[in-house]
């Protein structure tokens, strides 16, 4: 069985996970955070979980947005936040 998951948060040594199977069924779980950090998985990371007699975690690398996606986000923010507000924040 293979699931895709995300670490929603880590609090006091406990990782809170959202898991999704191949059919789109969502479930929630908690696990000792140290078990994830052994695989390089931390807060906000996505991962694949395989159950093959034992449980194996594989971190899914974060994808960097493309230049086009960054430009689109920047344009959307420009529409939402007037430049005058941003100038006040820089001061």
The predicted-structure confidence for 19-50, as pLDDT tens digits, reads as follows: 999 999 999 999 999 999 989 999 999 999 99
Arch. (CATH architecture) of 2-60: Beta Barrel (2.40)
Whether the pLDDT of residue 86 is over 70: the answer is: no
Mean of all residue pLDDT scores within the chain? 86
Q: Is 58 left (phi over 0), alpha (psi -120 to 50) or beta?
A: beta
pTM for the full predicted model? 0.66
């Amino acid at each position: 069985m293979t699931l895709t998951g995300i670490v929603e948060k880590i609090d006091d040594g406990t990782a809170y996970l959202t898991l999704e199977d191949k059919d789109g069924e969502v479930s929630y779980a908690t696990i000792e955070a140290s078990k994830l950090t052994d695989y390089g998985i931390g807060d906000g990371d996505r991962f694949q979980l395989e159950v093959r007699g034992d449980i194996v975690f594989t971190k899914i690398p974060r994808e960097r947005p493309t230049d086009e996606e960054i430009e689109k986000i920047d344009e959307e923010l420009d529409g939402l936040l007037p430049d005058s507000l941003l100038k006040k924040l820089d001061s």
